[in-house]
Every structure is written in C-alpha cells, then in structure tokens.
C-alpha cells in the first residue's frame, strides 16, 4: 500500500493550527523592544494605562517596525489625537433617564434636551486595508473614558432592532377604540446616549432599507444627547446607500452625519492586510482540485483530535430560533456554503456562530453571480462577522478568490421583481437592488479579508484555546 504523502503546505498549516510554536516563532521574530508595543496596539486600554500619548504611541510603532511609515495615516492620527484631547477637556454629559407616564406605561414624548456642544467626531473612509480600523482602535484605546463603546456597525444595528422590538413588546395591550401611536426610535437613542458618550463604529455601511429609514432620527437623537461618533467605512458619506430603494428619505441622514462628524479620506493605495505576511499554509481550495475534499477531511480530523469532544450536530439558539450545524467538534465546525448562506440567515446568526467556534470550514462555495445575489450578500456578512472576531476559515470554492463574484445573470428574476414593484427597466438600471453594485463593492472588502485570514498571524491570533492556555498556565 502506497504511503500517503502530506504536502509541505499542509504540514505548515498543522504546525500553525495545532500547537503554540507558531506563536513563539512570531514573537521571536520581533525585537524585544517591539513586543510590548505590538501587544499594546491590540489591547483595549493597556497603552492608556501607561500614559503614553497617542501620537508617541503611533511613532514608536513605526520606529519599531510594527507599522510602516505612512503620511496619510499620520495625518489622520494627528486629528484623532486632537479629538482625544478635546474629549479629555470636555465634560461628559450627565446620563438621561427615560421618563415614563405611569398612567400608560409609555415613555413621555419629550425631545432630548440640547446639551452643551460636544466636539465633532470623525467619519474615516478609504480603500480596504488602508489602516482605518487600526487607527480607530488605537485612538479608542487611548480615550480614558468609561462610557465608550467600540462595535461593528452591523452588530450595532442588530442591537438597535432588538431594543426597538423589546420596547414594542412592553407596550400595554390596546383596547377597542383606544388607539395610540408610539415611535420607539428616539427613546432607544436616548437609552444608548445614557450608556455611552463615545461610539466607535467599524465598517459603517447601509444596505438594508429598514436601517436606512431609521438612521436619521436615531443619529440626530444620539448627537443631541452628546454622543461623539468615530466611524470607519469603505464608502464616502455621499455614497452611502447609493442607488438604494427610497434613497430620497435617507439623504437627510447624510447631512446630519456630515454636520456632526468631520470627513477624512484615508487612501494610502496599499492593502496592509496582506503586505509582507507569511501564509499559514493552504486554506483556500478549488472544488475541482483532485483530493481537495480529502485534504479538508484530513485537516478537520486532525483538529477534532485536539478538541477532546465528539463529532456531533450542534443547535444554536438565536433570538428564539434554532440554527443547526450538522458537523461540529468542540470549537470547530465543518459546514457547506448551502448550510451557512443558502438559507435565510442573518448577522445575528453569524454572530452566534462566531461566538461558538474559532474555526469554520466552508465547503462548496459556488461562483457568486446575480442569480445568487442574496447568498453572496450573506457570505459577505458571514466573513465580516468572522473577521471581526478572529474566526479562522478553511474554504473550498468553485473559482479563485478574485473570480468568485461575477456580475452576470439575474435577468429573469429581476424582470419579475421589476414587474412586481411596477418599475421600468430604466429604474432597474439605476437601483442597487438590481445592479448588485453594493454587493460588488462589499465583496472587494471580503476578498481582502479572506486574504488576510490565510496569514499565519491571523491564524495564530485566532486560536482561542491557545490564548486560554497562555492566560491560565
């Protein structure tokens, strides 16, 4: 019987995945003076505790080689440092508590009181991998304020919808002839304003018409209650929700955003996510490659041996619904594209998967055409959630990464939808609902993230079990 040869790339991947030697190797490559600063970059408040000024922190990261010299980044960092100082000197607004009418159980319909002027925030946009999130996180770590929150924009909007739903559910039952209207958006914004003085958003984007319709009122109230916003995005403010349904009703939000946030373009023309990073091994397989399925099987089996757990289906509970993954073992899930993106799952489902697993196999990803636009949008949301929580992925797909999304097909389905909405072909040529412009734009971010997710650094940082062992030796 012929011996089964393990490819060198596969052996390298096992080394990264199955033990802590990769972490040690990564640390040994850094000079002793670099390690502290690299660690402080990713720790939420370590540098602030040390009292190191934000600009000095950034310069030391550059000098130590952890970051490259970048004039655009330095310019943005200087402005963020000024905002940090303004926040230090500006007193935080007092918490505002929701006042209820005890006769109805409803909040009073009072507008939030205008507070002393707070400093303007920032809306930082630019190409993928230009360092927007890194700079925002660096700024956030230096703001010495308890009432601050850093959150992915998708997660923030999920929380908003949950709060709105909770308030509607708490309304008293209406008797016959006793009708009343109740708008929960402003009270929800005031509730958040009472909890938070600084909101930092990663990946600010608007693709959902339900989100688009509530953003103006939501953010107008947040700003009125004194919340300062710092956001990153791949889109300029004027391009948000571009060609979306009912965009005219969304446009006032852009004016509100630009009034309260200074707009900064960060365009370094470099994707730092993949620059000079060692690959962890082969993590992206083509479906038609001979033996690709067997390699994934072998890798899953190796990872499962480390879990000390049985291979079983897993049922996750998400807001009263059940999401079933058919093959899991401890913190590893072996899934198909159909299982994750071929059914109506959303950001909340993917967030729960990301919380439950640190490694996810995604098999049989098809070429994503306009006929699969909904599934492609779910795939983008899936990767966004995984990337934000350092979930590691092994992908088996029908095409190379840069050719995975094709802007073709979809004509028959769009024709029916145009007829259902009573829209002309000319209208369909403009609306992003039919052109998939938003999906194409977002997929460039997905490509960049998937490339970084194949690096040794990303995989080492994503090993939760290794992190727990280091934290509890």
276 is a domain residue: no
Question: Regarding beta strands 284-286 and 392-397, do their DSSP bridges make them parallel or antiparallel, or are they unpaired?
Answer: parallel
Measured between alpha carbons, how far is 469 from 357 in angstroms, rounded to an integer? 17
Least confident of 65-74, 114-123, 382-391, 436-445: 436-445
270 is a domain residue: no
Mean pLDDT along residues 133-142? 92
pLDDT exceeds 70 at position 240: yes
189 is a domain residue: yes
**Same-domain pairing of 355 and 457:** yes
**Same-domain pairing of 312 and 392:** yes
Question: The CATH number of the domain where 209 resides is what?
Answer: 3.40.50.300
Asked if 257 and 201 touch (Cβ cutoff 8 Å), the reply is no
**Same-domain pairing of 194 and 258:** yes
Measured between alpha carbons, how far is 167 from 183 in angstroms, rounded to an integer? 10
Q: What percent of the chain has pLDDT over 70?
A: 71
- Mean of the per-residue pLDDT values of the chain: 78
Q: What is the pLDDT of residues 81-117, one digit of tens each?
A: 999 999 988 766 554 444 444 333 444 444 555 555 7
Domain boundary among 234, 265, 296: 265
Angle at alpha carbon of residue 209, lines to 405 and 324, rounded to 5°: 60
Asked if 339 and 364 touch (Cβ cutoff 8 Å), the reply is no
Question: The CATH number of the domain where 433 resides is what?
Answer: 3.40.50
**Same-domain pairing of 230 and 304:** no
pTM above 0.85, yes or no: no
pLDDT exceeds 90 at position 414: no
97 is a domain residue: no
**Same-domain pairing of 161 and 296:** no
Which of 1-15, 122-136, 249-263 has the highest average model confidence (pLDDT)? 249-263
* DSSP state at residue 175: P
Task: Give the pLDDT score at 437.
Answer: 65
**Same-domain pairing of 351 and 467:** yes
Q: What percent of the chain has pLDDT over 90?
A: 40
60 is a domain residue: no
Asked if 16 and 459 touch (Cβ cutoff 8 Å), the reply is yes
Mean pLDDT along residues 365-382? 89
Measured between alpha carbons, how far is 472 from 466 in angstroms, rounded to an integer? 10
pLDDT exceeds 90 at position 367: yes
**Same-domain pairing of 299 and 234:** no
**Same-domain pairing of 167 and 289:** no
Mean pLDDT along residues 210-234? 93
Report how far apart, in Å, the C-alpha atoms of 176 and of each of 173, 179, 180, 182 are: 10, 8, 11, 17
Measured between alpha carbons, how far is 137 from 131 in angstroms, rounded to an integer? 10
pLDDT exceeds 60 at position 5: no
Asked if 123 and 257 touch (Cβ cutoff 8 Å), the reply is yes
Into how many domains does the chain fold? 2
Q: Which residues contact 25 (CB under 8 A, 6 or more apart)?
A: none
Least confident of 241-250, 323-332, 360-369, 405-414: 405-414
**Same-domain pairing of 328 and 409:** yes
**Same-domain pairing of 356 and 215:** no
State the burial class of residue 212 (Cβ atoms within 10 Å of its Cβ: 0-12, 13-18, 19+): buried
pLDDT exceeds 90 at position 397: yes
**Same-domain pairing of 80 and 202:** yes
Task: Give the pLDDT score at 460.
Answer: 86
Q: CA dihedral in degrees (229, 234, 240, 245; nearest 10)?
A: -130
Task: Give the pLDDT score at 33.
Answer: 36
* Domain encompassing residue 440: 284-471
Measured between alpha carbons, how far is 121 from 261 in angstroms, rounded to an integer? 4
pLDDT exceeds 50 at position 281: yes
153 is a domain residue: yes
Residue 332 — very low, low, confident or very high, per pLDDT cuts 50/70/90? Answer: very high
**Same-domain pairing of 322 and 445:** yes
Mean pLDDT along residues 237-241? 91
pLDDT exceeds 90 at position 3: no
Task: Give the pLDDT score at 75.
Answer: 93
Q: What is the pLDDT of residues 9-61, one digit of tens each?
A: 445 555 555 544 334 433 433 333 333 333 444 444 444 445 678 888 888 88
């Amino acid at each position: 019987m012929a011996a089964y040869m393990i490819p060198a790339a596969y052996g390298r991947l096992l080394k990264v995945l199955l033990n802590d030697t990769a972490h040690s190797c990564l640390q040994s490559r850094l000079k002793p003076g670099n390690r502290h600063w690299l660690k402080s970059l990713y720790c939420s408040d370590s540098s602030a505790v040390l009292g190191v000024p934000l600009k000095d922190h950034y310069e030391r990261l550059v000098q130590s080689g952890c970051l490259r010299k970048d004039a655009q980044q330095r310019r943005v960092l200087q402005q963020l440092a000024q905002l940090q100082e303004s926040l230090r000197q500006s007193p935080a607004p007092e918490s505002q508590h929701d006042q209820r009418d005890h006769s109805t159980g409803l909040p009073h319909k009072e507008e939030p009181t205008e507070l002393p002027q707070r400093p303007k925030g920032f809306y930082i946009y630019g190409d993928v991998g230009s360092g927007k999130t890194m700079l925002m996180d660096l700024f956030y770590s230096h703001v010495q304020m308890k009432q601050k929150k850093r959150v992915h924009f998708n997660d923030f909007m999920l929380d908003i919808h949950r709060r709105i739903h909770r308030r509607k559910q708490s309304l008293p039952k209406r008797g016959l002839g006793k009708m009343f209207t109740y708008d929960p958006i402003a009270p929800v914004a005031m509730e958040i304003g009472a909890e938070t003085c600084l909101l930092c958003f990663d990946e600010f984007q608007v693709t959902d018409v339900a989100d688009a319709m509530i953003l103006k009122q939501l953010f107008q109230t947040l700003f009125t209650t004194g919340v300062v916003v710092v956001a990153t995005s791949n889109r300029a403010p004027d391009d948000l929700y571009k060609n979306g349904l009912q965009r005219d009703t969304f446009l006032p939000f852009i004016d509100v955003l630009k009034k309260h946030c200074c707009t900064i373009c960060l365009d370094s023309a470099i994707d730092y996510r993949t620059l000079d990073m060692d690959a962890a091994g082969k993590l992206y397989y083509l479906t038609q490659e001979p033996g690709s399925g067997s390699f994934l099987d072998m890798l899953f089996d190796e990872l499962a041996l480390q879990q000390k757990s049985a291979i079983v289906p897993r049922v996750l509970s998400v807001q009263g619904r059940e999401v079933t993954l058919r093959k899991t073992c401890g913190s590893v899930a072996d899934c198909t594209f159909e299982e994750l993106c071929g059914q109506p799952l959303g950001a909340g489902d993917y967030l729960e998967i990301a919380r439950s697993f640190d490694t996810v196999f995604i098999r049989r990803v098809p070429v994503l055409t306009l006929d699969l636009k909904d599934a492609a949008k779910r795939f983008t949301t899936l990767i966004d959630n995984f990337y934000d929580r350092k979930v590691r992925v092994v992908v088996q797909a029908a095409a190379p990464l840069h050719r995975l999304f094709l802007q073709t097909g979809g004509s028959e389905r769009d024709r029916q939808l145009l007829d259902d909405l009573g829209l002309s072909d000319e209208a369909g040529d403009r609306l992003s609902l039919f052109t998939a412009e938003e999906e194409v734009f977002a997929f460039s971010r997905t490509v960049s993230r998937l490339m970084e997710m194949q690096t040794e650094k990303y995989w080492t940082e994503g090993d939760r079990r290794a992190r727990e062992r280091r934290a509890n030796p």
